[in-house]
C-alpha cells in the first residue's frame, strides 16, 4: 500500500496514520532532517519541538508550526518508522526528561 511520494521505510501502520492525521511526505522529510532523535523504551523517537522548529525555519521559508509535537517512532535499528503521531499535551516533555 505504498503511495507515491511517501518513503519506503514507513510501515503499513505508519503510512495509515500519516493519511489519517494529514501528514505529508514533505512533513516527514522535515522531521527526519531536523528532528531530535532520542533512544528510549526500546525504540527511537524523533521529535519536532520548538527548538527544532526554530532551526528548520532558518532553512525552510514556510510556516512549519503545524509540525510542532510531531513524533516519528523508529524501530531500534532505525530502519523503519513504526508509527507517527502528534504529542502536544503537557506530558510531551516527559519522554525527553526520562531519556536524559
DSSP string covering 24-58:
-HHHHHHHHHHPEEEEETTEEEEEE-HHHHHHHHT
Average pLDDT value for residue range 65-94: 84
Is pLDDT of 34 > 90? yes
Task: Kindly state whether residue 70 falls inside one of the protein's structural domains.
Answer: yes
Is pLDDT of 98 > 80? no
Task: Kindly state whether residue 25 falls inside one of the protein's structural domains.
Answer: yes
Average pLDDT value for residue range 87-95: 60
Task: Kindly state whether residue 3 falls inside one of the protein's structural domains.
Answer: no
**Predicted pLDDT of residue 82:** 95
Give the total number of structural domains in the chain.
1
Share of the chain above pLDDT 90, in %: 64
Question: Can you give the residue range of the structural domain that contains 26?
Answer: 12-99
pTM, 2 dp: 0.81
**Predicted pLDDT of residue 1:** 47
Task: Kindly state whether residue 60 falls inside one of the protein's structural domains.
Answer: yes
Average pLDDT value for residue range 45-57: 94
Amino acid at each position: 500500500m505504498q503511495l507515491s511520494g511517501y518513503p519506503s521505510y514507513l510501515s503499513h501502520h505508519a503510512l495509515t496514520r500519516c493519511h489519517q492525521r494529514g501528514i505529508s511526505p514533505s512533513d516527514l522529510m522535515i522531521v527526519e532532517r531536523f528532528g531530535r532523535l532520542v533512544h528510549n523504551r526500546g525504540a527511537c523517537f524523533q521529535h519536532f519541538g520548538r527548538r527544532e522548529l526554530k532551526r528548520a525555519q532558518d532553512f525552510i521559508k514556510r510556516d512549519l508550526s503545524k509540525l510542532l509535537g510531531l513524533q516519528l517512532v523508529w524501530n531500534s535499528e532505525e530502519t523503519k518508522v513504526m508509527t507517527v503521531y502528534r504529542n502536544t499535551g503537557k506530558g510531551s516533555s516527559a519522554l525527553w526528561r526520562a531519556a536524559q
